[in-house]
A = this chain, B = another copy of it.
């Protein structure tokens, strides 16, 4: 008798669990810029030894989310205004291409899902969730593309400025304008107008960059 094989691989390695948790805590701002990451302390929090913690930290450093100094340890990486601007420029270059590629590949189911996410963002009331809902909408559209490396780049770039994005969203008009722009991007996708969706995405990112830099010291 044959049994259906069940995927029981739900158990992830300790280092991956620590990595995911630290990454989430960093991009959500629960760990502030410059805050040291003590291996011992983190190991105690997750009931592990420092080995998987070190592996997680080294992966986070490879992603640019932490900086480490030999024998001194790791701190949450911060960005200068100039660096922030560069990341937004990178996003403004890459993400329009992802959308352009994705539009012809969007199923009606995916568009329906994106419409829900778009509505959820526009009607959000809890500032703590602004960032997640914003990201949720964009990633839904991006997921239709088959450009996985482009998506990797975009994901990492967004990770690095997630804190600034959240700040921008709670600023005056941030949510309102983003909501409008999301809706326009969605409409372009529904019309199948890849060029327009691409252009609107670029302007969306450039606008966020501009409104953010206005409030940063000496951009």
Measuring CB to CB, which residues of chain A are less than 8 angstroms from any residue of chain B?
A: 9, 13, 15, 51, 54-55, 58-59, 61-64, 70, 83, 86-87, 89-90, 93-94, 97, 147-150, 152-153, 157
Contact = CB atoms under 8 A, between A and B. Distances in A.
A7 to B, nearest CB: 12
5 contacts: A15-B58, A59-B59, A59-B61, A64-B152, A83-B149
B153 A153 contact: yes
Contacts of A153: 90, 153
A80 to B, nearest CB: 11
B59 A150 contact: no
B149 A70 contact: no
Contact of A54 (B9, B55, B61): B55
A86 B55 contact: no
Given A9-B70, A89-B147, A90-B150, 17 more contacts: A13-B70, A51-B51, A54-B55, A55-B55, A55-B58, A58-B58, A58-B59, A59-B59, A59-B61, A62-B62, A64-B152, A83-B148, A86-B149, A87-B149, A90-B94, A90-B149, A93-B94
A14 to B, nearest CB: 11
Contacts of A94: 90, 93-94
